[in-house]
Amino acid sequence: MVYTKRVDGRKLDELRPIEAKVGVIPNAKGSAMFRSGHTLAYAAVYGPRELFPKHLQNPKKGIIRCYYNMMPFSGSGERIRPGGNRRAQEISMVMTNALNPVVDLSAFPNTVVDIFVELPQTDAGTRCAAICAASMALADAGIPMKDMVSAVACGEVDGTVVADLIYDEEAYDAIVSDIPVAVLHNSKEVTLLQMDGEISKEALLRAIQMAQKVTEKIHEIQKKALKDKYAREE
């Protein structure tokens, strides 16, 4: 059995409808909203600001810290009790690792740039949406960056490699692998790579290549959102 027709009718490498906007949280130095289908993420950047506890300070450059959180009513089932949970902590960490290679805080020693991402509703691909939103928010804040980061969850559903899995595909009744990938736009290097499921090496490489291809489209949307903030009236 091969998965040829996707649950929601999309082509194998087709992304869900995406909406992106920057400057949505006035209190923050930079902010963004990124929505892919039913997965919606808000990101806000504060800093560079003083870093506590002091032993985390780096005298050569500033650091970034990501905080990923799903709102209590954003899960696909019951309410999620607020407060730290291990999944959110892990995602926060891999997000930080995905964004670190592009951020240049050498002019701001001993400081921290805090990136908060919150999701009011989700339908798979949450850490990818979070990274896309965070990337835009950092650019909106004018934090020096060497490249933009875009992310998408690709994977294999019942033998077919697809892009941008939704919840119903993750839960599909067959062998599924869910592979979130973050890609740098200029160099095409990978800064986030995780996997849930079972897959062969060959299919995995195809999934990563698909991610590199579709993140180009995501990048265009992120770039447009940044430009639109400064669009001139005619």
Partner 1 sequence: MNAMWSFLEKLWLKEWIFFLENTYRDGNKIYAKILGLVGAAGRVIRITPLSGPYVPRVGDKIVGKVIDITMTGWRVDTGTAYSALLNVKDATTRYIKKEEDLSKIISVGDYVVVKIINVTSQNLIDLTMKEPGLFKTVGGRVIEINNQKVPRVIGKQGSMISLIKSRTGCEITVGQNGNIWIRGHSPENELLAAKAIKLVEEKSHYEGLTERMEKFLAEHGTTADITPVEQAAPEENSNERYEEN
Partner 2 sequence: MIINKETILQLAKQGKRLDGRGLLEYRTPFEVELDISWTAEGSAKVRLGETVVIAGVKMSLDKPYADTADEGGITVNAELLPLSSPEYEPGPPQMKGIELARVTDRGIRESHAIDLKKLCVTPGEKAWFVTIDLISINDAGNLFDVATVAALAALKNARFPYVDPETGVIDYHKKTDQKVPLVKEPIGITVYKISGNLLVDPTSEEEKSYDARLSVATDEHGIISALQKGGDAPLTVDEIGKMIDIAMDKAKFLRNALDKELARKKK
Which residues of the chain form contacts with partner 1 (CB under 8 A)? Answer: 29-30, 47-51, 59, 62, 104, 107-112, 139-148, 185-186, 223, 226-227, 230, 232
Pairing of strands 63-70, 111-121: parallel
Task: Select from partner 2, partner 1, none the partner in contact with residue 159, using the beta carbon and a kind-dependent cut-off of 5 to 8 Å.
Answer: none
Task: Select from partner 1, partner 2, none the partner in contact with residue 132, using the beta carbon and a kind-dependent cut-off of 5 to 8 Å.
Answer: none
Tell me the C-alpha distance between 200 and 159, whole Å. 10
**Chain-centre distance of CA 146, in angstroms?**
17
Least Cα distance to 178 among 222, 130, 123 occurs for 123
Residue 74 interacting with partner 2 (CB under 8 A): yes
Least distance CB 233 / partner 2 (angstroms) = 20
What is the token pair recorded at 201?
């090496």
Beta carbon nearer to partner 1, 51 or 181: 51
- Choosing from 6, 114, 178, 226, the residue that interacts with partner 2 (CB under 8 A) is 114
Task: Select from partner 2, partner 1, none the partner in contact with residue 46, using the beta carbon and a kind-dependent cut-off of 5 to 8 Å.
Answer: partner 2
Report helix, strand or coil for 3.
coil
Inter-residue contact 4 to 174 (CB < 8 Å): no
Identify any residues that bridge with 33 across adjacent strands, giving them in sequence order: 21, 42
Least distance CB 17 / partner 2 (angstroms) = 14
Least Cα distance to 147 among 115, 111, 99 occurs for 99
Tell me the C-alpha distance between 12 and 154, whole Å. 10
Least distance CB 210 / partner 1 (angstroms) = 23
Residues 30-59 that bind partner 2 (CB under 8 A): 38, 40, 42-44, 46, 49
Task: Select from partner 1, partner 2, none the partner in contact with residue 206, using the beta carbon and a kind-dependent cut-off of 5 to 8 Å.
Answer: none
